[in-house]
Structure 1
Amino acid sequence: MPLYLLAALLGAGLGFWAPGLSPWGEVLLWPVLMVLLFATFLQVPLLALRRAFRDRAFLLAGLVGNFFLVPLLVYALLQLLPPEPGLRLGVALVLLVPCTDWFLAFAHLGRGDMARALALTPLNLFLQLPLLPLYLLLLGGRVGGLPSEALVQAALVVLTPLLLAPFLQARSLGPTLAARTVSWPVPLLALVVFLVALGYAGHVGGFQVHLWGLVGVFALFLLLALGLAWVLARLFRLEAKTGRTLAFSLGTRNSFLVLPLALALPEGMALAPLAVVLQALVELLGMGVAVRLVPRLFPSPLDPGGPS
C-alpha cells in the first residue's frame, strides 16, 4: 500500500502544481495499462483458465453481484447525493460498470484466483456495454449515444493483452517470458496509479463543495461492495481465493471506460467527469487497503499463517 499511496500523492501533486504535465498522464496511461495487463495475464496457466470457465457458481455469483446487487446499491447511494443531475449521472456512470482492467492486477496482489478473474473479465466487459444505457434509463438519468470510439478503445486495452498472452504462452518462449515478468505487476500498477493521478487530479478542484460528500459515498460503496462479496461467497459456497476475486470484481469500477463518455456529455453535465475522476482516485487508495484486508475477509488454510 505505501508504494501506491506514494504514487498517487506524487502524481496528484504534479498534476496540481505542474498542469502542463497532465496531458502526458492521459497519453501514457493506456499503453502502460496494456503492458500491466499483459504481464498479469502471462502468469495464468492455460489449463487453469479452462477450469475456471467451468466454475459456474463463481461466474453466476459475479454476474449477480455486478449486474443486479451493485445497481441496487448504486440506486440507494444516489439518494445520499444532492439533486444535481450532472453529479448524480457521473456517480451512476462510474459505479454501475465493473472494472475489466486493473481489477485483474488488484486480484493478483490480493491473492485472488487469476484464472477465474480472467474468465469473468470478458463477461463483465460485454454485458456492461448494453446494460449501462438501460441502467441509466431506469435510474432516471439521460445520456446521449455512447461514443463508439471510447468503447472500442476500452475493449482493445483489455482484449489485446488478453489474446497476446496465451498466444505467447503456447510458444517455447512462454515460460521464460512469464518468469522474467513475474515481478512486473507491482511497479507497473504503481506507475498506472501515478499516471491516473497526474492526468486527472487537476480536474477535481472544480467542485470543492461536493468533494467530501462524494469521497464518503465512494468509500461507502467500496465497503458495502466487499460486504456483498462476502455474503455471495457464502451463498454460492466459493473457496477463499475465488471469494477474494469476487470481492475485487465488485469493489473496482470501470472509470477508464466511462470517463470518455462523461467528457462527451452536454455542457450542463460538467460535474459528471469530475465525479468519475474522483472515484478513480478514491478507489486507488481504497484498493491499497483492500489488498491487505480482502485476504483476511476470505482466509484460507493454504495461506501462510492461515487457519488450520
Structure 2
Amino acid sequence: MPAAATVAERLEQHQVALYLLAIGAGVALGFAAPLAAGSLDVVVTPFLAALLYVTFLQVRAADLVASLRDRRFLGAVLLVNFMVGPLVVAALSPLLPADDAIRVGALLVLLCPCVDYVVVFSGLAGGANQRLLAATPLLLLAQMLLVPVYLTLMLGDGRDVIDPGPFLWAFIVLIVLPLAVAWLTQAWAARSTAGRWVSDAASPTMVPLMMAVLFTAVGSQVPRIDSRIADLAGVIAVYALFIVAMCVIGLLVARGLRLPGDSGTAVVLSGVTRNSLVVLPLALALPVGAELAAATVITQTLVELIAMVTMVWAFKRAARRR
C-alpha cells in the first residue's frame, strides 16, 4: 500500500504540529461550545482503545514475553514510579493549594503512573513501548497496593479513596482487549491476504487517532475546569514542576542503570505520565469536594498532554542528532 505508506510518512513528519493543532482545537471548542464539547467524553475511551490497538499491532507476542525478562528495565520503572516519584510528590505537596479537594485530587493523580497512552507516546518518541506494555500489570498492581499507603501517610485517609474497580476496568478495556484483537489480527495477516490488508490499512491511522484522542480529551475537559480556573491556578505550577523533576530523575536513573536509549526514553515517559483517565472516576466518587477534585485531575491531564507532545518532539530530535 504505497499511497497509504506515503500518507503515513507525511503525517509522521508533521505529527507534533498536528498534535498541537488538535489540542488547540479542543481548547477552542471547549470555550466556544462547552455543552457540545462536554459530551465528547463518551468517545475518549473508544478512541484511546482504537489507538492502543493500532500500537499493539506493532508488538509481537514473542517481543512482549522477552520484555518480561528485562529485569533492569522493570526495576527502573518501579524505582522511578514507586520509590522516587512519591518522594517528589511529598516534596511538592506543601506547594499545593490549601483546599482539601484540590490536595486529594492532585496527590491521587500524581501518585498513579499511566498504563495506557504512555505506551503510544513512548513508541512515538522512539521508546521501548513493548517493554512498557509488559510492565503494565506490575504498574497497576503496585499502584493499587501502594497508593493507598502513600495517601494515608500524606493525608491520613487514603485507604478509603482507592477502589480497584476502575483500575481493573481500564486494564481490561484499554490493554487486554486491544492487545488480544491486535494479536488476532497479526495471526490473520500471517495466513490471509485480507488480514494483511487490514493490518497494513491500520498503520497509517495512528496519527489521526492520536489527534482524535487529544481533541476529544482536551475538548471534553475544558468546560469542566473553566469555572474553577482561579481555584486551580496554583496546582498548575506543581504539575509543571513534577514533570520537570520526573524527567530529570528518569534520565538519571536510566543513565545510572546503563539502559539502552529506547528503554531510557520509556522510563522517562513512564515517570512523567500519570493515570488520569483511570483516576478521574475515583475523584468523582469522593464524598466531599468531588467536582473540584475531578477538575484538579482534569487539569493535570491538560498540562501533561502538552508536555507529552513536547517530549516526543525533543526525543525524536535528540535521536536524529545521535
Note whether the superposition's TM-score is higher than 0.5.
Answer: yes
**Secondary structure of residue in 1 paired with 2:204:** coil
Q: CA deviation at 1:221?
A: 0.9
Structure 2 vs 1, CA of residues 4 and 87 (structure 1 numbering), >3 Å: closer, same or farther? same
| Residue 187 of structure 2, aligned match among 146, 152, 170 | 170
| Residue 154 of structure 1, aligned match among 161, 167, 170 | 170
Gaps of 5+ in 2: 1-15
Q: For residues 114-160 of structure 1, give each alpha carbon's deviation from its aligned partner in whole angstroms, at most 9, with x where no partner exists.
A: 22121112211222122222221111153535455433431222221
Distance (whole Å) between structure 2 residues aligned to residue 84 and residue 232 of structure 1 = 34
The answer as to 2:130 corresponding to 1:115 is yes
Q: CA deviation at 1:108?
A: 0.9
| Residue 299 of structure 2, aligned match among 278, 290, 294 | 278
Distance (whole Å) between structure 2 residues aligned to residue 304 and residue 217 of structure 1 = 32
Distance (whole Å) between structure 1 residues aligned to residue 61 and residue 164 of structure 2 = 32
Q: For residues 219-245 of structure 1, give each alpha carbon's deviation from its aligned partner in whole angstroms, at most 9, with x where no partner exists.
A: 111111111111110121100011001
Matched with 1:246 is: 267
Q: How does 1:205-244 map to 2 (within 5 A)?
A: 205-244=226-265
| Residue 17 of structure 1, aligned match among 4, 12, 32 | 32
Matched with 2:96 is: 81
Q: CA deviation at 1:112?
A: 0.6
Identity among equivalent positions (%) equals 38
Q: CA deviation at 1:269?
A: 4.6
Q: Contact 2:29/2:219 (CA < 8 Å) preserved in 1?
A: yes
Matched with 2:50 is: 35
Structure 2 vs 1, CA of residues 269 and 263 (structure 1 numbering), >3 Å: closer, same or farther? closer
Distance (whole Å) between structure 2 residues aligned to residue 254 and residue 285 of structure 1 = 15
Matched with 2:208 is: 187
Structure 2 vs 1, CA of residues 235 and 295 (structure 1 numbering), >3 Å: closer, same or farther? farther
AA matched with 2:63: A
**Secondary structure of residue in 1 paired with 2:41:** helix
Worse overlay, 41-50 or 26-35: 41-50
Structure 2 vs 1, CA of residues 6 and 96 (structure 1 numbering), >3 Å: closer, same or farther? same
Q: CA deviation at 1:304?
A: 4.2
Q: Contact 2:77/2:270 (CA < 8 Å) preserved in 1?
A: yes
Worse overlay, 236-245 or 162-171: 162-171
AA matched with 1:257: V
Structure 2 vs 1, CA of residues 114 and 279 (structure 1 numbering), >3 Å: closer, same or farther? same
Q: For residues 60-95 of structure 1, give each alpha carbon's deviation from its aligned partner in whole angstroms, at most 9, with x where no partner exists.
A: 000111111111111111111132211111111111
Q: Contact 1:206/1:274 (CA < 8 Å) preserved in 2?
A: no
**Secondary structure of residue in 2 paired with 1:181:** helix
Matched positions, count: 301
Distance (whole Å) between structure 1 residues aligned to residue 196 and residue 91 of structure 2 = 47
The answer as to 2:285 corresponding to 1:264 is yes
Worse overlay, 247-256 or 183-192: 183-192
TM-score by length of 2: 0.87
The answer as to 2:46 corresponding to 1:26 is no
Q: Contact 1:107/1:114 (CA < 8 Å) preserved in 2?
A: yes
Worse overlay, 144-153 or 22-31: 144-153
Q: CA deviation at 1:113?
A: 1.2
Distance (whole Å) between structure 2 residues aligned to residue 81 and residue 177 of structure 1 = 48
Gaps of 5+ in 1: none
**Secondary structure of residue in 1 paired with 2:228:** helix
| Residue 224 of structure 2, aligned match among 174, 186, 203 | 203
Q: CA deviation at 1:286?
A: 0.7
Q: CA deviation at 1:7?
A: 1.1
Distance (whole Å) between structure 1 residues aligned to residue 108 and residue 156 of structure 2 = 9
